[in-house]
Amino acid sequence: MILLCFITLILLYHITYNDFYKVLRGEHLLKESILRLLKDSRPAFISGEEICRTLNVTRTAVWKHIQTLREEGYVIEARPRSGYRLTAIPDRLYPVEILDGLNTRVLGREIDYYEEVGSTNDVAREWAAKGAGEGLLVVAEEQTGGKGRLGRKWHSPRCKGIIFTLLLYPPVNPSRVSQVTMLAAVAVASAIRRETGVGAGIKWPNDLLVEGRKVCGILAELSAEIDRVGHLVVGIGINANQDMGDFPEDVRDMATSLKLESGEKVSRVRLLQACLESFEHWYGLWLEQGFEPVRAAWKEMSVSLNCPVHIQSLDQSWDGWAEDVDNDGALLLRLPDGNLQRFVSGEVSLRVI
Protein backbone atom coordinates (compact mmCIF):
# COMPACT_ATOMS: atom_id res chain seq x y z
CA MET A 1 0.00 0.00 0.00
CA ILE A 2 2.81 2.40 0.89
CA LEU A 3 4.60 1.52 -2.36
CA LEU A 4 1.40 2.14 -4.34
CA CYS A 5 0.98 5.57 -2.73
CA PHE A 6 4.60 6.42 -3.46
CA ILE A 7 4.25 5.47 -7.14
CA THR A 8 1.03 7.49 -7.34
CA LEU A 9 2.77 10.55 -5.94
CA ILE A 10 5.58 10.18 -8.46
CA LEU A 11 3.11 9.94 -11.33
CA LEU A 12 1.17 12.94 -10.08
CA TYR A 13 4.37 14.97 -9.73
CA HIS A 14 5.48 13.93 -13.21
CA ILE A 15 2.17 14.98 -14.74
CA THR A 16 2.16 18.24 -12.80
CA TYR A 17 5.73 19.06 -13.81
CA ASN A 18 5.06 18.25 -17.46
CA ASP A 19 1.91 20.36 -17.49
CA PHE A 20 3.78 23.22 -15.81
CA TYR A 21 6.59 22.95 -18.36
CA LYS A 22 4.10 23.00 -21.23
CA VAL A 23 2.51 26.16 -19.82
CA LEU A 24 5.89 27.86 -19.53
CA ARG A 25 6.87 26.77 -23.03
CA GLY A 26 3.56 27.99 -24.39
CA GLU A 27 3.99 31.37 -22.71
CA HIS A 28 7.51 31.65 -24.13
CA LEU A 29 6.32 30.86 -27.66
CA LEU A 30 3.48 33.37 -27.34
CA LYS A 31 5.92 36.11 -26.31
CA GLU A 32 8.14 35.27 -29.29
CA SER A 33 5.12 35.32 -31.61
CA ILE A 34 4.13 38.79 -30.40
CA LEU A 35 7.70 39.97 -30.90
CA ARG A 36 7.69 38.57 -34.45
CA LEU A 37 4.48 40.45 -35.27
CA LEU A 38 5.99 43.67 -33.90
CA LYS A 39 9.15 43.16 -35.97
CA ASP A 40 7.22 42.35 -39.14
CA SER A 41 5.09 45.50 -38.71
CA ARG A 42 8.01 47.92 -38.33
CA PRO A 43 8.04 50.87 -38.66
CA ALA A 44 4.24 50.91 -38.55
CA PHE A 45 1.98 50.23 -35.60
CA ILE A 46 0.07 46.98 -35.20
CA SER A 47 -3.19 47.08 -33.30
CA GLY A 48 -3.78 45.03 -30.19
CA GLU A 49 -6.91 43.70 -31.87
CA GLU A 50 -4.90 42.35 -34.80
CA ILE A 51 -2.39 40.68 -32.48
CA CYS A 52 -5.26 39.07 -30.53
CA ARG A 53 -6.97 37.88 -33.71
CA THR A 54 -3.77 36.55 -35.30
CA LEU A 55 -2.62 34.64 -32.21
CA ASN A 56 -6.06 33.85 -30.78
CA VAL A 57 -5.26 35.34 -27.38
CA THR A 58 -6.79 37.95 -25.08
CA ARG A 59 -5.81 41.60 -24.81
CA THR A 60 -4.69 40.90 -21.26
CA ALA A 61 -2.25 38.25 -22.48
CA VAL A 62 -0.90 40.61 -25.13
CA TRP A 63 -0.39 43.41 -22.60
CA LYS A 64 1.37 41.05 -20.17
CA HIS A 65 3.87 39.94 -22.81
CA ILE A 66 4.40 43.49 -24.07
CA GLN A 67 5.38 44.40 -20.52
CA THR A 68 7.75 41.43 -20.30
CA LEU A 69 9.41 42.43 -23.57
CA ARG A 70 9.88 45.95 -22.25
CA GLU A 71 11.49 44.57 -19.11
CA GLU A 72 13.91 42.66 -21.36
CA GLY A 73 14.96 45.90 -23.04
CA TYR A 74 12.71 46.12 -26.09
CA VAL A 75 11.39 49.66 -26.63
CA ILE A 76 7.72 49.38 -27.56
CA GLU A 77 5.55 52.42 -28.10
CA ALA A 78 1.84 52.16 -27.28
CA ARG A 79 -0.64 54.60 -28.82
CA PRO A 80 -4.44 54.66 -28.39
CA ARG A 81 -6.34 53.55 -31.53
CA SER A 82 -3.02 52.71 -33.21
CA GLY A 83 -1.66 49.85 -31.14
CA TYR A 84 1.98 48.97 -30.58
CA ARG A 85 5.20 49.79 -32.41
CA LEU A 86 8.66 48.32 -31.83
CA THR A 87 11.18 51.16 -31.94
CA ALA A 88 14.38 49.61 -30.54
CA ILE A 89 15.87 46.16 -29.92
CA PRO A 90 18.20 45.66 -26.93
CA ASP A 91 21.88 44.83 -27.39
CA ARG A 92 21.43 41.41 -25.84
CA LEU A 93 22.32 37.94 -27.04
CA TYR A 94 18.80 36.59 -26.62
CA PRO A 95 18.19 33.28 -28.43
CA VAL A 96 15.23 34.76 -30.30
CA GLU A 97 17.52 37.47 -31.72
CA ILE A 98 20.35 35.05 -32.59
CA LEU A 99 17.95 32.76 -34.45
CA ASP A 100 16.33 35.67 -36.31
CA GLY A 101 18.14 35.56 -39.67
CA LEU A 102 20.73 32.95 -38.66
CA ASN A 103 21.84 31.09 -41.78
CA THR A 104 23.15 27.81 -40.42
CA ARG A 105 21.96 24.24 -40.66
CA VAL A 106 23.30 22.86 -37.35
CA LEU A 107 25.40 25.33 -35.38
CA GLY A 108 23.38 27.52 -33.02
CA ARG A 109 20.01 25.97 -33.80
CA GLU A 110 19.76 25.01 -30.12
CA ILE A 111 20.76 27.72 -27.63
CA ASP A 112 21.32 27.80 -23.88
CA TYR A 113 21.40 31.45 -22.76
CA TYR A 114 22.65 32.96 -19.48
CA GLU A 115 22.74 36.45 -18.04
CA GLU A 116 25.75 35.31 -16.00
CA VAL A 117 27.66 32.04 -15.89
CA GLY A 118 30.91 30.73 -14.49
CA SER A 119 32.14 29.23 -17.76
CA THR A 120 30.27 28.51 -20.98
CA ASN A 121 32.71 25.65 -21.63
CA ASP A 122 31.77 24.03 -18.33
CA VAL A 123 28.07 24.30 -19.16
CA ALA A 124 28.63 22.81 -22.62
CA ARG A 125 30.47 19.85 -21.09
CA GLU A 126 27.52 19.29 -18.75
CA TRP A 127 25.20 19.27 -21.76
CA ALA A 128 27.48 16.76 -23.52
CA ALA A 129 27.21 14.44 -20.51
CA LYS A 130 23.41 14.62 -20.89
CA GLY A 131 23.61 13.70 -24.58
CA ALA A 132 23.00 17.11 -26.13
CA GLY A 133 23.27 17.27 -29.90
CA GLU A 134 26.01 18.71 -32.06
CA GLY A 135 25.92 22.44 -32.64
CA LEU A 136 24.50 23.39 -29.24
CA LEU A 137 25.39 27.00 -28.50
CA VAL A 138 25.97 28.13 -24.92
CA VAL A 139 26.07 31.93 -24.72
CA ALA A 140 26.32 34.39 -21.84
CA GLU A 141 26.22 38.12 -21.27
CA GLU A 142 28.84 37.79 -18.54
CA GLN A 143 31.30 35.07 -17.57
CA THR A 144 32.77 35.07 -14.08
CA GLY A 145 35.12 32.10 -14.33
CA GLY A 146 36.33 32.27 -17.90
CA LYS A 147 39.76 30.92 -18.74
CA GLY A 148 42.12 30.79 -21.66
CA ARG A 149 45.01 28.60 -22.69
CA LEU A 150 47.50 27.52 -20.00
CA GLY A 151 45.05 28.51 -17.25
CA ARG A 152 45.00 32.23 -17.97
CA LYS A 153 41.90 34.16 -16.90
CA TRP A 154 39.56 35.69 -19.50
CA HIS A 155 37.89 38.90 -18.30
CA SER A 156 34.29 39.29 -19.52
CA PRO A 157 32.37 42.45 -18.49
CA ARG A 158 28.60 42.25 -18.78
CA CYS A 159 27.04 42.87 -22.20
CA LYS A 160 30.28 44.14 -23.73
CA GLY A 161 31.87 41.05 -25.25
CA ILE A 162 30.63 38.01 -27.13
CA ILE A 163 31.14 34.90 -25.01
CA PHE A 164 30.02 31.55 -26.39
CA THR A 165 30.82 27.85 -26.64
CA LEU A 166 29.94 25.32 -29.32
CA LEU A 167 29.48 21.62 -28.63
CA LEU A 168 30.86 19.38 -31.39
CA TYR A 169 31.24 15.67 -32.07
CA PRO A 170 33.78 15.54 -34.92
CA PRO A 171 34.05 12.00 -36.36
CA VAL A 172 37.84 12.09 -36.50
CA ASN A 173 40.81 10.66 -34.67
CA PRO A 174 41.60 12.67 -31.49
CA SER A 175 45.03 13.52 -32.92
CA ARG A 176 43.31 15.82 -35.44
CA VAL A 177 41.27 17.80 -32.95
CA SER A 178 43.98 20.44 -32.35
CA GLN A 179 43.27 21.58 -35.91
CA VAL A 180 39.81 22.75 -34.81
CA THR A 181 41.32 25.57 -32.76
CA MET A 182 43.03 26.90 -35.88
CA LEU A 183 39.80 26.36 -37.82
CA ALA A 184 37.96 28.42 -35.19
CA ALA A 185 40.52 31.21 -35.52
CA VAL A 186 40.06 31.30 -39.29
CA ALA A 187 36.27 31.31 -38.95
CA VAL A 188 36.13 34.11 -36.39
CA ALA A 189 38.80 36.25 -38.06
CA SER A 190 36.91 35.96 -41.36
CA ALA A 191 33.65 36.98 -39.68
CA ILE A 192 35.26 39.95 -37.91
CA ARG A 193 36.87 41.20 -41.12
CA ARG A 194 33.64 40.89 -43.06
CA GLU A 195 31.30 42.38 -40.44
CA THR A 196 33.45 45.16 -38.98
CA GLY A 197 36.24 45.85 -41.46
CA VAL A 198 38.78 45.37 -38.66
CA GLY A 199 41.80 43.46 -39.96
CA ALA A 200 42.08 40.81 -37.25
CA GLY A 201 45.11 38.57 -37.67
CA ILE A 202 45.95 35.21 -36.11
CA LYS A 203 48.81 34.58 -33.71
CA TRP A 204 49.71 30.91 -33.53
CA PRO A 205 47.74 28.92 -32.82
CA ASN A 206 44.45 30.77 -32.35
CA ASP A 207 44.64 34.19 -30.67
CA LEU A 208 43.25 37.04 -32.76
CA LEU A 209 45.20 40.29 -32.70
CA VAL A 210 44.74 43.78 -34.06
CA GLU A 211 47.94 45.83 -34.22
CA GLY A 212 49.52 43.49 -31.71
CA ARG A 213 46.66 43.64 -29.18
CA LYS A 214 44.42 40.71 -28.38
CA VAL A 215 40.81 40.96 -29.50
CA CYS A 216 39.71 37.33 -29.27
CA GLY A 217 40.70 34.17 -27.42
CA ILE A 218 39.75 30.58 -28.23
CA LEU A 219 39.88 27.55 -25.93
CA ALA A 220 39.02 24.05 -27.13
CA GLU A 221 38.60 21.25 -24.59
CA LEU A 222 38.38 17.61 -25.58
CA SER A 223 36.92 14.46 -24.10
CA ALA A 224 38.17 11.41 -25.97
CA GLU A 225 39.22 7.79 -25.91
CA ILE A 226 42.38 6.53 -27.64
CA ASP A 227 40.83 6.34 -31.10
CA ARG A 228 37.54 8.20 -30.79
CA VAL A 229 36.40 11.71 -29.90
CA GLY A 230 33.81 11.78 -27.15
CA HIS A 231 32.98 15.46 -27.50
CA LEU A 232 34.71 18.75 -28.15
CA VAL A 233 33.75 22.12 -26.71
CA VAL A 234 35.11 25.24 -28.40
CA GLY A 235 34.90 28.38 -26.28
CA ILE A 236 35.31 31.77 -27.95
CA GLY A 237 35.55 35.19 -26.31
CA ILE A 238 35.49 38.31 -28.51
CA ASN A 239 36.19 41.80 -27.19
CA ALA A 240 33.38 43.56 -29.02
CA ASN A 241 32.28 46.80 -27.36
CA GLN A 242 34.69 47.22 -24.45
CA ASP A 243 36.17 50.62 -23.72
CA MET A 244 39.73 50.67 -22.41
CA GLY A 245 38.47 51.19 -18.86
CA ASP A 246 36.62 47.87 -19.05
CA PHE A 247 39.90 45.96 -19.12
CA PRO A 248 41.90 45.21 -15.95
CA GLU A 249 44.90 47.53 -15.64
CA ASP A 250 47.41 44.71 -16.04
CA VAL A 251 46.18 43.85 -19.57
CA ARG A 252 45.35 47.28 -21.00
CA ASP A 253 48.59 47.40 -22.98
CA MET A 254 47.85 43.97 -24.48
CA ALA A 255 44.09 44.06 -25.14
CA THR A 256 41.75 45.92 -27.44
CA SER A 257 38.17 45.69 -28.71
CA LEU A 258 36.49 45.92 -32.08
CA LYS A 259 34.79 49.13 -30.95
CA LEU A 260 38.13 50.70 -30.03
CA GLU A 261 39.66 49.66 -33.34
CA SER A 262 36.77 50.60 -35.62
CA GLY A 263 35.46 53.62 -33.73
CA GLU A 264 31.94 52.19 -33.91
CA LYS A 265 29.80 50.02 -31.67
CA VAL A 266 29.49 46.47 -32.94
CA SER A 267 26.19 44.60 -33.31
CA ARG A 268 26.98 41.67 -31.06
CA VAL A 269 24.07 39.59 -32.37
CA ARG A 270 25.01 40.07 -36.00
CA LEU A 271 28.69 39.35 -35.36
CA LEU A 272 27.80 36.19 -33.43
CA GLN A 273 25.58 35.08 -36.30
CA ALA A 274 28.43 35.72 -38.72
CA CYS A 275 30.80 33.68 -36.53
CA LEU A 276 28.39 30.75 -36.43
CA GLU A 277 27.87 30.85 -40.18
CA SER A 278 31.60 31.10 -40.85
CA PHE A 279 32.41 28.33 -38.37
CA GLU A 280 29.87 25.99 -39.96
CA HIS A 281 31.38 26.65 -43.39
CA TRP A 282 34.96 25.94 -42.29
CA TYR A 283 33.97 22.99 -40.09
CA GLY A 284 32.18 21.34 -43.00
CA LEU A 285 35.11 22.02 -45.31
CA TRP A 286 37.52 20.50 -42.78
CA LEU A 287 35.42 17.35 -42.43
CA GLU A 288 35.13 16.97 -46.20
CA GLN A 289 38.59 18.02 -47.41
CA GLY A 290 40.87 17.78 -44.39
CA PHE A 291 43.15 20.38 -42.86
CA GLU A 292 44.82 21.82 -45.96
CA PRO A 293 42.13 24.44 -46.87
CA VAL A 294 42.08 25.59 -43.23
CA ARG A 295 45.87 25.64 -43.06
CA ALA A 296 46.11 27.76 -46.22
CA ALA A 297 43.58 30.30 -44.90
CA TRP A 298 45.26 30.33 -41.48
CA LYS A 299 48.65 31.10 -43.05
CA GLU A 300 47.15 33.93 -45.11
CA MET A 301 45.74 35.54 -41.94
CA SER A 302 48.73 34.80 -39.70
CA VAL A 303 50.67 37.57 -37.98
CA SER A 304 53.18 35.18 -36.39
CA LEU A 305 54.78 33.47 -39.39
CA ASN A 306 57.88 34.58 -41.28
CA CYS A 307 59.06 36.64 -38.34
CA PRO A 308 61.23 36.22 -35.21
CA VAL A 309 59.37 34.80 -32.20
CA HIS A 310 59.99 33.79 -28.61
CA ILE A 311 58.49 30.52 -27.40
CA GLN A 312 58.04 29.70 -23.74
CA SER A 313 57.17 26.43 -22.01
CA LEU A 314 56.88 25.89 -18.27
CA ASP A 315 60.64 25.44 -17.85
CA GLN A 316 62.34 26.33 -21.13
CA SER A 317 62.37 28.99 -23.84
CA TRP A 318 63.49 29.31 -27.46
CA ASP A 319 64.08 32.18 -29.89
CA GLY A 320 63.94 31.59 -33.60
CA TRP A 321 62.23 32.22 -36.92
CA ALA A 322 58.60 31.05 -37.27
CA GLU A 323 58.90 29.28 -40.60
CA ASP A 324 55.67 27.36 -41.11
CA VAL A 325 52.91 25.23 -39.63
CA ASP A 326 52.81 21.56 -40.60
CA ASN A 327 49.91 19.35 -41.64
CA ASP A 328 48.93 18.84 -38.00
CA GLY A 329 48.98 22.55 -37.13
CA ALA A 330 52.25 22.39 -35.18
CA LEU A 331 54.64 25.35 -35.46
CA LEU A 332 57.97 24.81 -37.21
CA LEU A 333 60.64 27.03 -35.67
CA ARG A 334 64.03 27.59 -37.34
CA LEU A 335 66.55 27.83 -34.53
CA PRO A 336 69.72 29.99 -34.69
CA ASP A 337 71.82 26.87 -35.31
CA GLY A 338 69.78 26.08 -38.41
CA ASN A 339 67.84 23.16 -36.97
CA LEU A 340 64.07 22.99 -37.32
CA GLN A 341 62.05 22.30 -34.17
CA ARG A 342 58.38 21.38 -33.95
CA PHE A 343 56.06 22.81 -31.27
CA VAL A 344 52.53 21.74 -30.33
CA SER A 345 50.17 24.50 -29.20
CA GLY A 346 49.04 22.94 -25.93
CA GLU A 347 52.59 22.85 -24.60
CA VAL A 348 53.92 26.38 -25.15
CA SER A 349 53.04 30.06 -25.60
CA LEU A 350 54.38 32.33 -28.33
CA ARG A 351 55.32 35.99 -28.49
CA VAL A 352 56.34 37.85 -31.63
CA ILE A 353 59.66 39.62 -31.08
Residue 224: phi and psi, rounded to 5, are: -150, 160
Q: b/e map of 312-328 (b: 16 or more CB within 10 Å)?
A: eeeeeebebbbeebeee
Residue 243, CB-side half-sphere exposure with 13 Å CA sphere: 1
Region 335-350: mean pLDDT is: 86
**What Rg, from alpha-carbon coordinates, does the chain have?**
24
Percent of the chain with pLDDT strictly greater than 70 = 89
Does pLDDT of 17 surpass 50?
no
Give the pLDDT mean for 38-54.
Answer: 95
pTM attached to this predicted model: 0.88
Q: What pLDDT is stored for residue 236 in this prediction?
A: 97
* Average pLDDT of span 16-36: 69
pLDDT (0 to 100) of residue 21: 40
Q: How many CB atoms lie within 10 A of CB 136?
A: 22
What domains, with CATH codes, occur in the chain?
2-88 (1.10.10.10), 95-301 (3.30.930.10), 307-352 (2.30.30.100)
The backbone torsions φ and ψ at residue 243, rounded to the nearest 5 degrees and listed phi first, read: -95, 165
Q: How confident is the model at residue 15 (pLDDT cuts 50, 70, 90)?
A: very low
75-124 tens-digit pLDDT: 999 999 999 999 999 999 999 999 999 999 999 999 999 999 999 999 99
Mean per-residue pLDDT over the chain, rounded? 90
